[in-house]
Chain A
Amino acid sequence: MNDIIVRSITRIVIPFVMLYGIYIVLHGHISPGGGFSGGALVGSSLILYTLVFGVDKARKKFSHRVSEIAESGGILLYLFVGALGIILSGSFLSNQSAGFPMGELGSLLSGGVIPILMIVIGIKVASTMISLFHILIEEEK
């Protein structure tokens, strides 16, 4: 898209959208939101970038390699956290009984593995949205 107004507005808006998405993912366990909604925000900010600046420039920001690592690494980290639960307490994905530090109720670092799982879900949702969009739009060309 070669419109200077759209380009300028996009440049200004994208950091705020992304920051808000990351905020929602990180505060998923103490306020409404979570991995799915925050990841969707981060993903849609990069989709906006692709729509405005074209898929070639967007591929430099989010390449196939990054997509592969985010997709597979997210799921492996989730399984790793679950396996830690088996080792520490005997059941898959156990949280408090496995002795993870609980922290103070309502603070950012609380809830044992819940913030980690939220971040993993956020990465997965964001990278799935962006990858699907990039793959489909590349097929279009």
Chain B
Amino acid sequence: MKKKFIASIFILLFVVLVYSIMQMPAGVGVDSLAYSESTEYYIENAASETGVTNIVAAILTDYRAFDTLGETIVLFTSIVAVVSVLRPDKKYEEGERHE
């Protein structure tokens, strides 16, 4: 019973995912969604507006710098979460108390 239930959930998930693949915009080319005006804007203006030749770096740290700040905060939060769960500094604190 439980196995059948889990299997049916997986089959349902598979159907939903396949359906969503069908709904994706088809075709790779100049008129696909990923190739919009913003791409041309970055290629034309990145060098003059940010002063760097690597457009990826220009987008990461200039146009979308706030997004990159969020990414660094995610890294920081991951460390804080792991430390708060595992507490590796217990030994360290006891060593300090002896002194």
| Chain A residues within 8 Å of B, Cβ to Cβ | 28-35, 64, 67, 71-72, 74-75, 78-79, 82, 92-93, 95-96, 102-103, 105-106, 110-114, 117-118, 120-121, 124-125, 128, 131-132, 134-136, 138-139
A30 to chain B, nearest CB (A): 5
Contact B52 A64 (CB under 8 A): no
Contact A105 B47 (CB under 8 A): yes
Encode B36-56 as 1/0 by CB contact (under 8 A) with A.
Answer: 000000000001011111101
Residues of A within 8 A of B65 (CB): 82, 93, 95, 117
Contact A95 B62 (CB under 8 A): yes
Q: Classify the interface of chain A: helix, strand, loop or mixed.
A: helix
Bound Cα distance A33, B60 (Å): 11
Bound Cα distance A32, B55 (Å): 9
Q: What total of chain B residues lie within 8 Å of the partner, measured CB to CB?
A: 29
**B99 at the A/B interface (Cβ < 8 Å)?**
no
Residues of B within 8 A of A72 (CB): 76
* 7 cross-chain CB contacts under 8 A: A32-B54, A78-B69, A110-B52, A128-B76, A132-B79, A138-B88, A139-B86
Contact B51 A96 (CB under 8 A): yes
Decide yes or no: A128 and B60 within 8 Å by CB, A111-B51, A117-B65, A121-B68 being known contacts.
no
**B66 at the A/B interface (Cβ < 8 Å)?**
yes
Residues of B within 8 A of A105 (CB): 47, 51-53
**B8 at the A/B interface (Cβ < 8 Å)?**
no
Q: Which of A31, A82, A102, A139 contacts B54 (CB 8 A)?
A: A31
A111 to chain B, nearest CB (A): 4
Contact A78 B66 (CB under 8 A): no
Contact A96 B50 (CB under 8 A): yes
Contact A132 B88 (CB under 8 A): no
Q: Which of A28, A29, A124, A134 contacts B75 (CB 8 A)?
A: A124
Contact A114 B52 (CB under 8 A): yes
Decide yes or no: A114 and B57 within 8 Å by CB, A78-B69, A135-B88 being known contacts.
yes
B77 to chain A, nearest CB (A): 10
